[in-house]
Amino acid sequence: MNIGDKGEISTKVTESLLATNVGSGDVEVYSTPSMVALMEGASVQCLKEKLGEGQTSVGTSISIKHLAATPLSLNVRATAEITSISSDNKKISFKILAYDDKELIGEGTHERFVLNKERFLQKSNSKSQQ
């Protein structure tokens, strides 16, 4: 992976993605939680073919601004661009952007941490056995 690498994903705004249906508001527009998930998904897409065997990445921080409302049925897309990589290749920072068919609707930053998937799941699952 390299600084400048990019990922992109898109979807159509459906009823299940509206603020009224995800519990984030009472207006029938694309919800902020749905936009955040799309932006995070773009960063996952960016790293998809770049991680080693047995590795995955998890989100550790995200800071966004939701700039414009998007109605039902418009298309939305998110991009993620790597802006920095720690010296041990574990912490990856991204610039994230979201657009609908008309304009920029969101912007922010996101960090992911690269780790061993099996060890991570073992540690997480051990919580339910305590």
pLDDT value, residue 129: 82
pLDDT value, residue 130: 67
Calculate the CA 120 to chain-centre distance: 19
**Phi, psi dihedrals of residue 19, rounded to the nearest 5°:** -55, -35
Q: Per-residue pLDDT for the chain (130 aa), expressed as one digit of tens each?
A: 999 999 999 999 999 999 999 999 999 999 999 999 999 999 999 999 999 999 999 999 999 999 999 999 999 999 999 999 999 999 999 999 999 999 999 999 999 999 999 999 999 999 988 6
Calculate the CA 16 to chain-centre distance: 18
